[in-house]
Structure formats: C-alpha cells, structure tokens
Amino acid sequence: MRREPSAATAYRVLMAGTDAHTTHSFVAGTDLAAQDTYDNIDPADGSVLGAVGRGGEREVDAAVEAAAAAQKGWAATSPEHRSTVLTRLADLIDRDRDGLARLESEDTGKPLSQAVTDATVAARYFRFYGHAIDAYYGTTIPLGPDLHAYTRREPYGVVGSIVAWNYPMQLLSRAVAASTAVGNAIVAKPADETPRTAVAMARLSVEAGMPPGVVNVVTGLGAEAGAALARHPRVAHLGFVGSTETGSLIAHAAADRVVPTVLELGGKSAQVVFADADLEKAARFVARGVLQNAGQTCSAGSRLVVHESVRAELVERVAAHFRQVGLGAGLEDPDLGPLVSARQQERVRGYVEGAGSGELVLGGTPPQDERLASGSFWLPTLIDGVDPASAIAQEEVFGPVLVTMPFTEDEEAVALANATDYGLLAAVWTRDLARAHRVAAEVEAGQVFVNTYGAGGGVELPFGGFKRSGYGREKGVEALDHFTQTKTVVVRLD
C-alpha cells in the first residue's frame, strides 16, 4: 500500500528536492538520482512511505569526488569559521526539529517524543564540536633550547561513514560534526530503512554555510552502496555503526587499503544489581534501558544480573513497569513503537521462542490488538533465570527483551557481566561505593554507570566498546583524535 506524504507533508517534501516521491542521494549540494529505487516501508503498518534511490558505485564515486574537491578548501578555513558554521547548523536543526522528528518517527517506528529528543541531541553534537574546535590544539615538546618541536592535528581528507537504522539522526550528526570540525569532508551512507533525515541534514549543512561537497549522503542498500564506500580507494578513514558481522567485513575492506577505522558494533550490556541497591530506582532504569527505541539500541541493558536475595522482588518491580507500557505507531507517541521491520520482528521471535530455560514472566509475542496487527510490534518481554550460555543471553536480540541471571557472590556477578563476547556498557547498582569502584574496574565495558544508566550516555562522554563491541571512540573531545592524524615537526633554531 502506497500513501501520500503525511509527516508535515514529508518535511515539506524533503525540503523541496527534485522529486516529490523519491528520496535521492545528496551529492555536491544537489540531488543525484540513482538508476533504480526501492520502497521505504513504515514499520507501524507496512505501508510505503515513498521510494529511495538505490545508489551504488556510480553515486559513491560522484560523492567521493565531490568531497575531495571540497575538502582542502574547507580544511583551509579557520577553526573560528568552522565553529560558526557548525553552530549555525545546530540552530537550523533546532529550527526544523519537528519536521526532522516526524520523518524519523515514521522511518524507524520510534515514539515521536523519542525522535524529538534525537533531533535535539543531533543539534547538540554540532554545537558541542563547534565549540570544541576552538580549543583543539597540537602540543609543543621540550627537546632543548636549540630545537622547537611541536605536533599538528591534521584531517584525513575524505572520510566515509556507514550508520545504523536505530538512531539515524544522532549517528549521522556525531560523525559529521566531529569529522568536519577538524577539516574533513564526509560521504555518509545511511541505513537502507532510514534515509530521509540524513538527506535532510545534508541539505541543512549547505544552508548553514558548508561548501557543497563537504557533506554528502548516498542512499541505497548496504551490500551495494555501503560496500562501494568501504572499498573506495580515495576514502582515507572509515566509520561504521552496526552489527559485529558487518563491522568485520568493513574492517577487512579497510585493512586491505591500510585505512583506519572506528567501529561501534553490538552489545549485550549487563545491569548488575546487588542486594543493597535501591530496587525501585534500579527497576525504573532497567525497564527504560531495555524498552527505549523498542530495545533496538546497541547499549540496551538487556541482561539483568541480580543478587539472588532480591531477585524475586526486582523481577516483579520490572514486570510492573513493563505492564504499564502502551504500544502504538510512532507518530501517536506511545511508550513503545514497532520494531523497524517485519524481518526484525521475526528475528526477535526466533530468540524468544528458542530461549530454552527460564520462566517467561510476561510478553513473548506480538500484541493481540487488531489495530497493531499489520505493524512490526513486539510486547515487552521478561524471561527470568535463563542459561547464561544460551543464545538469548549471549547474542544481541535488538528488541524489547530482558533476561535475568542470579548471583550470590561479587566475583560471580563480575564473571556473569563479562561472560559475553561484547563489552559496550554496564551498570552497577549498589550503595557500597567501594564495591562500585571495584566492580566498575573489573567489568569489561567501554562505559560503566553506577546507580544510573544512560544508553550511550551524553554527547560529552567518549563512547565505544571492548572486545567484539568494536574499537575506537566516538563522542566527546576524544572523537576529534580519531578524525585527525598527528604530524610531528622538529625545527633546529640555530
């Protein structure tokens, strides 16, 4: 079923592009039509939101050439100028927040209020890096009175960024803002399912004053456009957000060309709750941490590792929060929207039905509401006492599914928290701060929260994983180091 544009007339027909019915790639400041298209599906009801340009090598080549042509001039501008442009872009995103959020809500299925938050955070990335670049310097090295040694942080040139479908605006913004702040130009490939806000923000970058070609977006399928971008010989740096399996392919493509990469991959994050924790506070954060964006968050706290003495009480408290959740289409702003696609719904079904051990406390199926039958919905699901070695406890489900595992000793809790191939986030819930610091040091994760939980944390916090959750860091000032290379200059003064 195809329908006419609705989300604020599809954000004024995607900001008055060349085609009212198709989302095209945006290259060198203008639409670039592909030779073929595919349908953009609304996960709330299965209807067709419109067509998407199925870009490939031709479009990637054009985007990389445009980026290379624009990059040197952009890098030659002063940090003050780049700061002004980035903060102006933040203002434009704030101005158009509602239109961007409605597109994001339709594409992903997430509740509208969460999409509004994503747009607000997207603006924050540009404002943060617009301010950070003013104070991002090299260093001097004291070798002696007759030598002047210093370092320069220089951009790579053209960077490629392939982002996932769960937080399209946030993921694109953190890549574009940090990379362009230090003088790179970028070619971004949004996820197949969620292309529209990426194109919209590329248009806004030109309105903000970035030269055409500094920010380019190629729409299309991962196996075509994404693969072409990963192997392009003129892309000097690659960033990828997505599955560990695809990340491995990206890393191999980059290694063949000796190109640096930043990989933000999967997660199976543990919420470790000790007997002395504030159980109601923990329950509230645990429920929110696995239900946000329908659990489609790499840093979702999908494993609850809980002390046996408080296990029953905490499970019931979390279940009580789950029972209060209302489901609906994203634009209705429910507590829980649909999964991103019917394929993702079937993936979640497979994990839940194959869970094996454990007691299904609630959920475990799509909702029975006929109003939601055509969408990709899944009920909040809680399974108590699963085998820590089972697939549902080891692998990323990417749905609103929480599994629990009991422990009795601190060492056992740490062992369970570390008992997966992933290491993205963890949380420690205890009133004993000595224990909290000790466990935080022993848990293998890129971020550890104590008596709180933020799926990915704030813009300021370096973000990335240990083990198979990837390498390199995004967000925070540390991200600027990953988008630049160090040049050391030594001058003899005599």
Q: What percent of the chain has pLDDT over 90?
A: 94
Shared domain check, 412 and 342:
yes
Does residue 3 form part of some domain?
no
Does residue 463 form part of some domain?
no
Q: Is 104 an active-site residue?
A: no
pLDDT digits (tens, 9 = 90+) for 50-87: 999 999 999 999 999 999 999 999 999 999 999 999 99
For residue 220, name the pLDDT band (cuts at 50, 70, 90). Answer: very high
Is residue 10 over pLDDT 90? no
Shared domain check, 211 and 86:
yes
Give the pLDDT score at 17: 63
Let me know: does 103 contact 119? Beta carbons within 8 Å. Answer: no
Give the pLDDT score at 152: 96
Give the pLDDT score at 18: 60
Is residue 12 over pLDDT 60? no
Shared domain check, 274 and 172:
no
Print the domain residue range for 350.
270-458
For residue 21, name the pLDDT band (cuts at 50, 70, 90). Answer: confident
For residue 246, name the pLDDT band (cuts at 50, 70, 90). Answer: very high
Give the pLDDT score at 19: 67
Give the pLDDT score at 356: 87
Residue of 104, 264, 396, 444 marked active site: 264
CATH number of the domain that 150 lies in?
3.40.605.10
Does residue 23 form part of some domain?
yes
Does residue 493 form part of some domain?
no
Does residue 464 form part of some domain?
no
Shared domain check, 192 and 234:
yes
Shared domain check, 126 and 13:
yes
Q: What percent of the chain has pLDDT over 70?
A: 95
Greater confidence (357 vs 104) lies with 104
For residue 454, name the pLDDT band (cuts at 50, 70, 90). Answer: confident
pLDDT digits (tens, 9 = 90+) for 183-193: 999 999 999 99
Shared domain check, 281 and 260:
no
For residue 14, name the pLDDT band (cuts at 50, 70, 90). Answer: low
Shared domain check, 280 and 246:
no
Give the pLDDT score at 416: 98
Mean pLDDT of the chain: 95
Shared domain check, 327 and 180:
no
pLDDT digits (tens, 9 = 90+) for 121-172: 999 999 999 999 999 989 999 999 999 999 999 999 999 999 999 999 999 9
